Every structure is written in structure tokens, then in C-alpha cells.
Structure 1
Amino acid sequence: MTTTEIHNFLLDEPCVCDISVQENKQYKKHSYLYVITCGLVVETTQFPLIIGIPEDWEQNLFDFYIGDDFNRPFLPHVETYNKLCLFDLEGALIDQDFFGLLSQCIHKAITLLSDGLNEKNKIDLIHEFSSYWNALPNSLYSCCTAQFSADIGSLRYVKKVVHQSRSRTDSYKFFISEDCGAFSDWGINETQKIGGFICLSPKEYLYPPDPRSELSLSYINDLLRQVPSPKLRTSFRKIGCDKLLVFFIHQPDETETLLGVFAPKSEFTEVDGYYQLRLENGTTLYPLSIQRVDSNYLLQRTAHSQDSVHRCLIIGCGSIGGYLASQLVQSGISDLTLIDPDKITPENIYRHYLGRAYIGQYKAEALSNRLQTDIPNLKIKSIPETIQYALENYDINFAQYSIIVSATGNHNVNRWINRQLISAHIQVPTFYVWNEPLDLGCHVAIINNAGAASYEDLFYHDSTSGDLYDLTAYCAPGQKITRQVSGCSNSFVPYAATVSIKSAALCVDSIFAYFDQRYRPNSVISLKGDAFYFKKAGFKMSPVFLAQNDSMQVTPLDQLVPLDGVTS
């Protein structure tokens, strides 16, 4: 397209006037392929409009701005520097038809501005409250782990100095929590001070202030007038002259709004039965841009919306166990016991969650340290011993847990675990996960240790040959799959880290599916690989692999039977 083609196209748009198109121009420090200036008539108002067309418009769309000299009202979806937020591009497909897309954006801008002038989309100010609050002048960054379980309370905060080389002035950031111990969990050791929080449930919406102006003291005092002073005295009496206040607002439509303010050199005065904040002359009132870092909030981005109450025992912290533990804590299970007697060795690092920085460390202890560094608020106990030794010599018992996972990949260890659970009548759901060689696949067996089902149901004893066969195996029997590096003690089954990651994901999904009652107990879930490398190595697949038509299959243990057939 050319400047003339764009100009002529816009002439046909009835709400667009006073058109000018310039090529290779800058606007608001952005370089554009074309910059269009025009008038956009919305009802009885003509908005001065600037449209920036970037070179990569196929990926990032067009930028629409209202002219800076125009005295516009405070409108939803218009940022402080007058850019219109037309579309949420997350996951959106952008039409590659330039003129069709330009027309669509113009009509979207008309609708957005018309709805703003008529207050039809005023509720969007509530849904996007944080973005307007964070854009206020003098805003300071803060992160907060508080849960706000009460209506009113005290909290602790740490103010850290941030040196800004460009402006040559210092700024601040804050860490806020109700829990004193949370600071050390985040590596914060500075002096803690006392602030306060108030949870509000107004009958009418509380709208954000206009971010084009500094936060007014009257806005905060209006919030304080929501709660009579007698309710605040006990919780706020220890707050010093530097006051940090957090307001957690439950809007009438149940939208939650979190905002904070830092008022140095200030005091509370009581006016008509309400606390009011008064600043010392020349003192700046700082809005706090609060980033929530509590687990309940952060888990909203996952499929699991709240911290799980499960206690999980993981036996085996090798290739599967490492990825499995990581995925479990990222799914909200925060209470783990990790058991593994082995240390990380150099040959582990290409298929283990832990890398070379942990070589020489016990897997259980190293995994615990890594997880607690990455994820807050975890409760992890690590035992660098075998499960047999741990049960005899440590203060643990199978019955203490709501989930048991064996990620040893060893049928003999799994059979021992299952016998212990059955003999002690412990009906904790137990998940046994293991890999097949190379890229054949993986399995998860779910056994709740009630009734007649047991781990032994996975095997078939051939009375003629005397051999014991795995009824789930994708690998045909009678083949030597293990490899050796330096003697029998260093033999291993070859498979890539990607297989262990799939096994871990299958196990985690199976755990949540079980508790959601989507999987029945005493079943085995089998996930087929494509067997490309397995066949390339000259190995043969079992009739079980060949007979499974779907990539994933769930089979009750009492339906496992030997399959006859030709291997391939």
C-alpha cells in the first residue's frame, strides 16, 4: 500500500475527516511505516486521532492514539499517554488484509469511545482497576504475600532502596506480608515495619482515580471513611509516622481490587468518627503498584486455582521423580516428602531436572533446595535413604500421606511398597510411574490398596517356562535393552529426558484426575510413544503395544490379560 492508497481508502470512511498520511515517521518515540493524522467523529465529538502503522502490523496490529492536546474525559481503555486499547492480542488471529483490518480498527475505536462517552463500558474501569492505579504518577512497586483473611489487620513491610542510574535519584520498592517468616523465604532480611490493611465490601462500585493526575489525599480518606475509627484502633495503633496502607476491595460484582498507598511523615486524625490521613507539608503520597505473590493468586494461571491440602510422599528423585516433584508443586501441592538414597552424577544431568550445579549432592536434598528456591511457601522434607531404611529410622509412616508416588521405575521396589501398604491396611492412593525404553512410552498404575487389587496384577507367571512377564510392557520379552558404561553396576535403560517429562506429566494429570473422580482406582494408564528410535535400534514391540490403537489407554487391573501375537 502507498500513502495515496491509504488516504483514498480513508476518504470512504464516513466518520473520518481531515486526513494526512506520512511515511517513515516517529510518534511517541515509536518508529512507524506510516503515521495517519485525522479527525474521528464519534456522535457529536470530533477526536483528533493519530494512527501508527508499524512495519510488523501483521503481528502487532496498529496503534491508535488520541491527540495529546485534546481535553478528553477519563475513559475506559484509553491509557495515560492517550493510546487506545482496541483488542486483547493474547491468542488473537490478526487479519492480513490491510484495509479490511484498518476499517475494523476504526469502527472498534468508534464503538469504544462512544461507549465511554455514554458510560456503557464504565464497568471496565473496575475490571481494569489495577492498570489505571499502577499508571498513577509517583507509583512505587511492591509485592505482597498477604492473604487478608480478616476484615482489618496489621501487616509487616520492608522498604528497599532502588538506585536509578538514569534519573540519578533513588526510588523504593516494598515487600508486604502478614507473615513475618515470609520475608526470609524471599531472601529479605531488612528491618520490618508495621502497616495496616482494610478489606472493604462497598454496596456501590469504587472506581479508580484518573491516572493523568497525582493521587489525591481525599481519595484515600474517602476509603478510610468506609470504616469507623473504633474498628481500626487496635490494628493501627502501632503504625509509625511512615504509613503503609493496603485496601482489599470486594466490588459489588465480586471483582477483587487490591491497592496500596505509602504516606511518609503522616498521621491519623479522627474526624466525625473516622480516621483521616494528614500529610506533612511537602510530603508526597505514593500509590503502591501491588504485585500479588501469594500462592492462591499465582495458581490462578494454572488449571488448579488454589493451594492443595494434600501431603505427598515421593519415592525416587531420579529422572521421573525430579520433573514430577517440580510439576506437583507448580500444581499447588506444597507439602512433600522426598526419598532417594542416590547422589547426582555427571551421567544424570542430561535427563534429570537438576543440572551440573548439583553434581555430588543427594538427589532428594538437592531437589528440595531447588524447589524451595524456585517456588515460595513450600514444606519439603528430604530423606537421602532408601524407602525401607526411611520407614524404620525416620519419623514417617505411609498413613501420614494423602498421596504416595513411587517414581523409582523399579518393579521390585514397587512390589515391596505395595505389600507393605496392603499388610498394614493403609488405603492411601498410590501412583506407580515408570518409563519404557527409548521412545516406546510410559505407564502410571493407580492402586488404592483396598480389596483384592494389587501391584501383582501387572504380572503374568508362565507356568511352563517359569518366567514372570509384565502385562503392560510395550517391549517384547527376551530382549537385552540395558546398556553399560563401565561394568554391571553401571547398567541403565536408555530413554531421553522428554520421556521422563511425559511420564511426570501423565502421573500429575492422573493424580488430579483420580481426585476429580475421572479415573477409577486400580487401573493402569498407558501412553504410547512413536517407537521410532526403538525400532531403529532393532528392537521389537510387544503385542500390547501393537494392540493399543489410541495414544493413551486406561485399563482396569482386573482386565489385564496376556496377549498372543507377532512382535514387530
Structure 2
Amino acid sequence: MRRALLEHLSRCQELIEGGEMESLLLTDGGRREFLRGLIRMDGYEIGVRVELPPTFPLCLAKVFIDSISPRVERRPHILTDGRLCIEAESDLLLDVHDPWGILRETLVRAHRLLHQILTGDRAAEFARELISYWKGSPRGLPVPCFVAPDDRPRLTKALYFEELLLAVADDPREPARFSPDFSRLPPCTLRNAIYIPIDPLAGDPAFHPDKLATLSELRKYVRALPSRDGRVLDKLLGRSGKHSPLVILGVRRPEGERALVGIQFHDTRGGHPLAHEGNGGSVEKIELQRRDAPFLASRGGADPHLRGRKVLLAGCGAVGGYLAMALARAGVGSLTLVDGDVFELANTYRHVCGIARNGMPKVFGLRQEIERLVPYITVSPYQQRLEAFLHERPQTLDSHDLVIAALGNPTIELELNRRIWSSHRNAPALFCWLEPLGLGGHALLTHGRASQSPARGCLECLYDHPVRGAALENLAAFAKPGEAYTRDSFGCGGRYLPFGDLDAQNTAQLTARLALRVLRGEVEGAPLQSWKGDARAFLQAGYEVTSRYESQTGAFAETLAYIRPDCAVCQT
């Protein structure tokens, strides 16, 4: 089948001309067959070789460039073995029942990329591919890099064990704090390194990554810095001299962001090789593995702009645990955790920490789990009930960007609601809670911004007396009021609300999405959001749902018109 496909390709002159089958004898006695031919385009003759890899048709064929005439010295998107980079594995959807169609698609992509190589901006393409040209350093593994690129030259730090470069970091504490593999290393020597932002494309239409490893060319890029940055760099080079042989280059790519590569100078004489009085030296490429916060956040879908945000989370149970982890993974830089409880084995199946932190205070166990999984976050734990915490720290509510309550205790949450509304300086607050037996969950924002003052609508509005003197009822409830939905496993003090892990996750996700919108300033008013679950287990237990639950047809309930004009908390 493979040979037949390649022979069929040789007859398609619009894809490849003069195709001839060839084969190589392999060491195991087998043969590797391929097709050689020509592609003519844009005034060039390109000699190509097409092979079908063993995994074909689960992947595209391979196209190798043997020659280009007239000669093109520097060619982006062509690997050292001549292979053309024509595929991005993540966007491939191949019909394995049509191998000829896959082979044809390979050649169509090859034509498109070759046209881009021959007629496009090659310097820009090389800048995009810079990191791939820095791979395969003689040192072996890449050096962990905790340097966040920006647009100004500055000193940073290099961590050495004897003469072995271990890491580069703006803050030398970061490798040990955010990379567990560094916490077990012996004491390191700190040396200065210099970060230099450069923009080769601004003045060199013939840019190629190899020029950065050539001292004379690198000097040209460095000396093209704006005058203010040049003066700063001159001071850094003069102050550090040859004692800072490591340079981190922040190379601007066409899209505007910067790629990071390392340069280590050897055999230097006199001043720093990049200084005006520098006398030269040899250049070694240093491949870097980026571990800085902006890179990890954006690469992982987090928001780097949330790193400066502070969130107070009261309640670190099932919903609060997932919520804390979601906020951390979204990029929030500071979490204050408040909860007086201790992990028990009964929490195992519906808490993000599982069984790992049994017997620990929830705030400390959750902090350990967050810091184990997510770098660049500060977690401040307080093993206290919320009432005691606020009594000791009354200014807390205006020192955070958002307060979230996942307490499962409406009495305490209503008191927090009143405290939030006691001052316009206090942060917005989110209240979230679960319904029993997978019936649903809710999230309510209050004290959010609306023009110059907080938007009306609060948790107090949501609770009402249907009959004077009767118990308060939650207007958003899906479970009919007046029933006791908690269960009792061990007698006094052992009551709990029945719900599952997925119910906690759904409520945490609903709340986290709303919280992130609040932190980004995208929410106005006091929205109430709900998710509606399957009522079968609830009804089988003999309970009844409310008319609000029955009136909702989708998985997410419509916003309830709950704001009371006579509310004693938010309307005063």
C-alpha cells in the first residue's frame, strides 16, 4: 500500500514533478522506500524527498528538502535533517480511511509552507523559531529560568553549585520556593547575571538566531538599545565587569512578546565582552527552561494580571477547597484562608485534598496542597471561626479585593453580609452554597460596584418571612423549605448535608467563574447565579422541590429578581 501511494503521487505533476522511487537498505535487513522529485514555485526549484513514516496514516507524511535553486542560505521551518515542519499535531484531524487524501494534504501543506519560506519575511520566521535553534545545548538539560522578561536591562541572579549553573532567577529564593527539586540541593553560590532586552528585527532584515551566538553581531543588537536603556546597561556592565559572564537575552518576537535564551561568555579578557572596552571571548549557548510566573500562567490558561489580587476565602470544606484551588490555578496571587475545622476521614471523598491531610487543620492542609501544585501564590491560613477572625482583624474586609464565603452556615453568612455593607470601603463579597442530594448550587455577589457606590442587592434580600413569625426562607432555594435535609451518622454533632464531590465541584466552578469576572472588573450589579442538578435522588428520598426548581428548564437557572426595596442592609 505504501509503495502504491508514493507511485500514485509521482504521477501528480501539480504536486511533485519527475518523481522517482528509491529505497535504502536498513541494518535490520528491511528497506525504507521514498519518492524523490521537484517542486517548482516562485522562481525556485526545490528538490524534495517524501517518506511515509511507520505510523502513517495516523500522521502526515514526511517531506525533506534536499536542495533549493537558486540557493537560499538561511531557511526557516526546515530542521537540521532537512525535514519540513508542516504539521502541528494538535490541529490534525485525519481520515485514516483515506490515506491518499492524507498524502495529498501533506503535499498541499508543503507547497503552502515553501511559498511562505521563499517569499515571506524570513527574519520574522527565524525570530518566531528562536527557541528551537537554542535546543541541544552541550550542557544537556536546559537551565531552569525564573526571570520574567520586560523591556529594561537589569541585574538578575545565577545560582551555581561549584562551577555548575543550576538556575537563573530574579529572586534567588524562588527556585527553592516554587520548585521542589531545588529544596534538596546543597547551598549554592550566587553570582550576578545580566538581563538584556533586544529587538533584532528592528534593524536587521537578515536576522538569524546564529547571529546571537556571534559576539560581533550580538554587540550590534545590544548597542542598538534606546539611549536610556543603553546608559543603564553600560552601568551594569561596568559594575559587574567580567564577573557576570552569564547574559539572559529577552528577544522580541514578531507578535511582541519576548523569548528568553542564555549566553555564557568564556575566555574573557578585560571588561565584560559586551562593554565598549570589552576585549572579546567565546560564546556558549545556554538553553533555558522558563519557569517564570508570566510564562507559566499564560501557557497554562491563567491570567497573569490576577497575580496582584487578594482574595479572602471563609470556609475550606468541600466547596471552599475546590474554589481555593480554582482561584490559585486561575492566577490569583494571594489567598487568605479562614476555617476552624480539622480534616477528618469523613471528608475524603468530597474534598480536593482527599485523604492526604487527614488530622490537619483544613487551612494548613489546603495551603500545603495549593503550594504543592501551584507556584507563585501566597497562602495565609487562619485556623479560626470567621466571627473570631473578623473580631481580631476588623480591617480585613477592606484589605482584600474580594471576600468569598463558602461556610454552609446562613446565620454566619448573613452576619458577614451585614459587616460587608457596614462600610463602602469594604470589598465585594460572594456567597455560595449547595442544595442537598445534587439538587443544585448557588452563588450571589453583593457589594459589587455600580458607578460610584455599591450595587443594591445582598444576601439579606434573599431571605424572607413568608408568614410573620415563621422561619426565614431562602428565595433561591430548590429544596422546599421547612425540612431538615442534614443527616445524622454518629449522633449529636455528627450531622452533615448529603451531597457528592461533583456537586461541590459544580458549585465551586460556578462561584470561581463569577469571582474571576469580579476581579477583572467585568461584573456590575448583584447577580445571583444557580446551577440545577438532577432531582431523582432528592425525590426518591421523599422530599419536594420548589416552584423555582420546576420552572427552570436548563442546567443553569435564570437570575432571580430577589432585590428588596425595603432591605434593612443594602437599601439604607
> What is the deviation of 1:289?
2.0
Q: Does 1:81 pair with 2:81?
A: yes
1:230-379 alignment runs, 5 A limit? 231-236=232-237, 237-238=239-240, 240-241=242-243, 243-250=245-252, 254-267=256-269, 269=271, 274=276, 276=278, 278-279=280-281, 285-301=283-299, 302=301, 304-379=303-378
Map Cα deviations across residues 292-337 of structure 1 (whole Å, 9 max, x no partner). 3222222223262423432211101111111111111222211221
Distance 1:496 1:221, change over 3 A: same
Distance 1:179 1:226, change over 3 A: same
1:465-480 alignment runs, 5 A limit? 466-480=470-484
Q: Structure 1 CA distance, aligned partners of 2:116 and 2:422?
A: 69
Task: Name whichever of 192-201 and 512-521 sits farther off.
Answer: 512-521
Distance 1:339 1:249, change over 3 A: same
Unaligned runs of 5+ in 2: 449-453, 566-572
Q: Structure 2 CA distance, aligned partners of 1:463 and 1:395?
A: 36
Match of 1:184 in 2: 176
Map Cα deviations across residues 146-191 of structure 1 (whole Å, 9 max, x no partner). 2355622211011359xxxxxxxxx966421222332432354522
Match of 1:557 in 2: 562
1:373 partner amino acid: R
The DSSP-based 3-state class of the residue aligned with 1:109 is helix
RMSD: 3.6
1:3-152 alignment runs, 5 A limit? 3-14=3-14, 15-20=16-21, 35-43=33-41, 44-55=44-55, 57-58=57-58, 60-67=59-66, 73-96=73-96, 97-120=98-121, 122-134=123-135, 141-149=142-150, 151-152=152-153
Distance 1:40 1:139, change over 3 A: farther
Compute the TM-score of the two structures, normalised by the length of structure 1: 0.84
Identical aligned pairs, as a percentage? 21
Match of 2:445 in 1: 446
Contact 2:130 2:209 in 1 (8 A): no
Contact 1:217 1:277 in 2 (8 A): no
> What is the deviation of 1:525?
0.6
Compute the TM-score of the two structures, normalised by the length of structure 2: 0.84
The DSSP-based 3-state class of the residue aligned with 2:89 is coil
Contact 2:39 2:46 in 1 (8 A): yes
Match of 1:522 in 2: 526
Map Cα deviations across residues 369-388 of structure 1 (whole Å, 9 max, x no partner). 22223322322211001011
Distance 1:393 1:539, change over 3 A: same
2:490 partner amino acid: S
Q: Structure 2 CA distance, aligned partners of 1:321 and 1:457?
A: 23
Q: Structure 1 CA distance, aligned partners of 2:90 and 2:161?
A: 34
Q: Structure 2 CA distance, aligned partners of 1:394 and 1:22?
A: 78
Q: Structure 1 CA distance, aligned partners of 2:401 and 2:120?
A: 52
Q: Structure 2 CA distance, aligned partners of 1:22 and 1:183?
A: 51
Match of 2:506 in 1: 502
Q: Structure 2 CA distance, aligned partners of 1:152 and 1:416?
A: 51
> What is the deviation of 1:2?
5.0
Contact 1:142 1:288 in 2 (8 A): yes
Map Cα deviations across residues 14-44 of structure 1 (whole Å, 9 max, x no partner). 4243432769x979x9x99974232232344
1:57 partner amino acid: P
Contact 1:206 1:251 in 2 (8 A): no
The DSSP-based 3-state class of the residue aligned with 1:66 is strand
Map Cα deviations across residues 45-70 of structure 1 (whole Å, 9 max, x no partner). 24241423333533x33232335999
Task: Name whichever of 117-126 and 336-345 sits farther off.
Answer: 117-126
Map Cα deviations across residues 439-492 of structure 1 (whole Å, 9 max, x no partner). 211100111084763312212313267232221111123444322221131111
Match of 2:192 in 1: 194
Q: Structure 1 CA distance, aligned partners of 2:548 and 2:367?
A: 37
Task: Name whichever of 315-324 and 38-47 sits farther off.
Answer: 38-47
Q: Structure 1 CA distance, aligned partners of 2:443 and 2:267?
A: 61
Q: How many equivalent pairs are there?
A: 542
Q: Structure 1 CA distance, aligned partners of 2:414 and 2:340?
A: 18
Q: Structure 2 CA distance, aligned partners of 1:272 and 1:254?
A: 25
| Larger strand proportion of the pair | 1
The DSSP-based 3-state class of the residue aligned with 2:52 is strand
Contact 2:273 2:279 in 1 (8 A): no
Q: Structure 1 CA distance, aligned partners of 2:297 and 2:273?
A: 41
The DSSP-based 3-state class of the residue aligned with 1:557 is coil
Distance 1:277 1:74, change over 3 A: farther
Q: Structure 2 CA distance, aligned partners of 1:206 and 1:135?
A: 26
Q: Structure 1 CA distance, aligned partners of 2:353 and 2:560?
A: 33
Distance 1:277 1:413, change over 3 A: farther
The DSSP-based 3-state class of the residue aligned with 1:433 is strand
Distance 1:270 1:357, change over 3 A: closer
Distance 1:90 1:255, change over 3 A: same
Map Cα deviations across residues 524-568 of structure 1 (whole Å, 9 max, x no partner). 1111123344345444322111111232222343279xxxxxxxx
Q: Structure 2 CA distance, aligned partners of 1:271 and 1:417?
A: 62
> What is the deviation of 1:127?
2.0
Q: Does 1:397 pair with 2:379?
A: no
Contact 2:313 2:335 in 1 (8 A): yes
Distance 1:4 1:515, change over 3 A: closer
Unaligned runs of 5+ in 1: 162-170, 561-568
Distance 1:402 1:277, change over 3 A: farther
Distance 1:13 1:452, change over 3 A: closer
Q: Structure 1 CA distance, aligned partners of 2:383 and 2:274?
A: 64
> What is the deviation of 1:435?
1.4
Distance 1:465 1:32, change over 3 A: farther
Match of 1:416 in 2: 415
Distance 1:444 1:79, change over 3 A: same
Contact 2:194 2:247 in 1 (8 A): yes
Q: Structure 2 CA distance, aligned partners of 1:56 and 1:533?
A: 49
Distance 1:535 1:453, change over 3 A: same
Q: Structure 1 CA distance, aligned partners of 2:399 and 2:266?
A: 49
